[in-house]
Structures are given as C-alpha cells and as structure tokens.
Amino acid sequence: MSNSIVANLKLAKAPIYSHCFSQDRSLVAVTLNSDCLVFKLTPGGKPALVATLPDHDKTVTAVDISIHGRIVTCSQDRNAIVWEPLSDGTYKPTLVLLRINRAATCVQWAPSGYKFAVGSSARIIAVCYYEQENDWWVSKHIKKPIKSTINCVSWHDNGIMLACGGTDGYVRAFSGFVKGLDSRDQVANSPWAEKFPFGALIREWYHGAWIHDVQWRSSQEKLAYVAHDGSFNVVDPSDHVSTTFSPEGLPLMALVWINDHEALCGGFSCHPVLFGEGASGWQFSKNIDKDIAPSTPASASTGDDDDEGNAPFGMSALKKFKELDLKGKVSAQVQESTHENAIVELAPYSVTAGNVTEVSSCGLDGKIVIYRV
C-alpha cells in the first residue's frame, strides 16, 4: 500500500454507489443494496454500525448529509427519504414525494441545508424543500430541456445555481431559486446570468459522451465535469472549455476540486488521477496510489511486435489462462491499487483554508478509501 492512503475501510461485500461523511467526520453513511448504513468511526478502531436506514425497497443510488446532520437518500424505487437524527442515535424517516416515474439517480443538499436536488432517469430534476405549513417536503420539477437520464447534480456555493450532467451528453446549469427560501442577494453580480427564475436554463455545454460528475469551484466561478470518454473538462463563464484526457484512457466517474488549480478524478482505472492547471492549461499531473508502473504503450512500441510480454493490449487474459493451465494457479496478478474496482464517488475529507488535503472515495468493491493528496 502506498503512503498516500490514510484509511482503507472494507465496509460491504457489494458495490457502494455513494457515501457521505458527517460534518465532524465521525459518521459515514454508505449505500448498500436497498439500505443505507451509518457507521461510527473511531480513530484506530473498527467502524461500528450504528444505524441501518431500511425504508427503500430498491437499490439506493445516492446519499448526502446536510450541514445540520440530516441524511437524504434516493433510490431506484423513485423516492427520496429525509432522515432526521434523533437524540438516541436513531433516525426518523420522512418520505419525499418526488413525483417521478423512473429511478432517482443522484441527490445533493444545497449548502444551506434547507433544500436538495434529486436527479432522475425521468429526465427531471426535483428540487425539494420543507414546507412548514403542511409539515411536508415538496418537490418542484426542472424538466426542459433535459433529454435523458441525469447522472449528477452539484449546487453552487450561492445555493441557487444547480449544475447537472447526464447521458444526453449535455452539462447544464439551471437556477434552483426557491421563493421564500432564497434571496436575490445570493446571486448578486454573478458572471453567469442576470436573472434567476426557478428552472431557468442558465447555460448548457454539449460534450457528447455520458457525463458522470460535475462540480463547481464557486470561488473561481468555474465548473468541472468528467465523462465516459475519460475526459476531464473545465468551463468558465465565457464558455471556454478546457479538455484533457485520463492517462489510461479509461472512463472517469468522479471528481473533486483540490484547490483553485488542481482537481482529483477517479474512475475505471481504480486509482485517483490528479489534474493541474499550468501555464499551458489543464494537464494530467500525477497518479495517486499506483505503485507498479505497468509497461506504458510508448515503451512497448520497440518494434518487436511478436513479444507478447510487451503487448499492452489483449494479452493479459491469454497470460492468465496459460498460468492457470501450467501452474494450476488462478492468477499471479498483483493488486496495483487500493481500490479493486472502479471508483464511483469522491468527496473532500479534510479541508484547510480552501485546499483539500484528504479525499474520501467509494467504489464498486465495497471499500471506502481516504487518500492524502
């Protein structure tokens, strides 16, 4: 294990699609099949299961914890549930009627903690907030011009602009302004638009491949997104898009801003990749948690095409079978990274003065890993 790993928690035997740490980092909520599990973390000790949130009856796709400690989960059963923490450590569920006819795919609390956005396969983003009079969470829909499943949503720090990305290949920024909850002062002098009525499309950028994650860098007024073609992209209010590709060429699933000029991405290569902005724009800067450098495609092109040990493509399976055949061993494969399957979500874990120093990740291998950047 390389020295960039702070913690490596194997919490489940099934994929973890989403995770979220509480504000004080003492609790972590993870999705597991149709449940959401809450673990308590003690330094040096094993994570202890403190609560199971069981009310969904299909796969839970996303979880988020607000600044007040409320947990929101959304699921393929087309519902979202807000879990209010009680003093005895249990949670009181409140069902949120999203009024969608397909799976909910992603959820995020607004920075204020009083509303959240749910993306769905029904080509709808539901912005939900609590109505005191009715003691009820209501949802308002953003529909147009979304053409396909929403994969990711991200709130700007101003709590009004909402970015989303989906399988139609568009990244869009909408206004999630809720009357009575938000004020115009929050978006005063915004470089993106003048007016922010609810549901208004502020900007859209066509990318083409499925968008898997979007994240604002609010202080810089920039938006970054990663896509299935392995690209990492940054756009600014002048619509300038800067694109760079993951070094292995594999799809990227998650991203997190480290500081104003660096972002960490994770995906099918199972280890995080750092991109940095230099004088010549955004570029790949380094791999994290990747000990063994495999033969790069460049070094393999020495001309001797028949040497199968050098061929970077298609040969590992053959080799595996040969080994199985000759030695009766399943594989001599060495684990190259801490995650053994794709990374699907990254989140800041430790932040000092706007710079992220540690990042948490969850993966399809059922692990939560914390990396030092």
Partner 1 sequence: MEDWRRIDIDAFDPDSGRLTAEDLKPPYASSVSLQELEPKISQLRSAATSGDFLNALQILTTDPPYSADETTKNQYFHAVLGVLTQVRQADITNLVKQLSPKQTDVLVKYLYKGMSVPEGQKQGGMLLSWFEKVTQLSGVGPVVRYLSDRNTV
Least distance in Å: CB of 253 to partner 1?
A: 13
Least distance in Å: CB of 301 to partner 1?
A: 5
* Closest listed residue to residue 357, CA positions, set 259, 224, 274, 277: 259
The footprint of partner 1 (CB under 8 A) covers: 101, 123, 147-148, 168-169, 206, 208-210, 227-230, 245-246, 248-251, 297-298, 300-301, 303, 305, 311-314
Q: Which amino acid is at 334?
A: V
Least distance in Å: CB of 351 to partner 1?
A: 32
Element of type H or E holding 9: strand 5-10
3-state secondary structure 240-280: CEEEEECCCCCCEEEEEEEECCEEEEEECCCCCEEEEEECC
The first and second tokens of residue 122, run together, are: 């029904």
- Strands across the sheet containing 27-32: 19-21, 27-32, 35-40, 48-53
C-beta of residue 272 within 8 angstroms of C-beta of residue 288 = yes
C-beta of residue 356 within 8 angstroms of C-beta of residue 247 = no
- Cβ-based nearer residue to partner 1, 278 or 313: 313
Least distance in Å: CB of 166 to partner 1?
A: 11
Least distance in Å: CB of 230 to partner 1?
A: 6
- Cβ-based nearer residue to partner 1, 113 or 312: 312
Least distance in Å: CB of 281 to partner 1?
A: 15
The rounded distance, in Å, linking the Cα atoms of 171 and 129 is 24
Q: What are residue 142's DSSP bridge partners? A: 125
**Phi, psi angles (nearest 5°) of residue 218:** -65, -40
Strand pairing category for 19-21 and 161-166: unpaired
- Cβ-based nearer residue to partner 1, 316 or 355: 316
- Cβ-based nearer residue to partner 1, 39 or 268: 268
Least distance in Å: CB of 120 to partner 1?
A: 13
- Which residue is it, tokens 């009310």? 55
Helix (H, G, I), strand (E, B) or coil at 320: helix
Least distance in Å: CB of 124 to partner 1?
A: 10
- Cβ-based nearer residue to partner 1, 191 or 303: 303
- Cβ-based nearer residue to partner 1, 44 or 303: 303
- Cβ-based nearer residue to partner 1, 1 or 315: 315
- Cβ-based nearer residue to partner 1, 31 or 149: 149
Element of type H or E holding 297: helix 297-300
Helix (H, G, I), strand (E, B) or coil at 110: coil
The first and second tokens of residue 293, run together, are: 């450098």
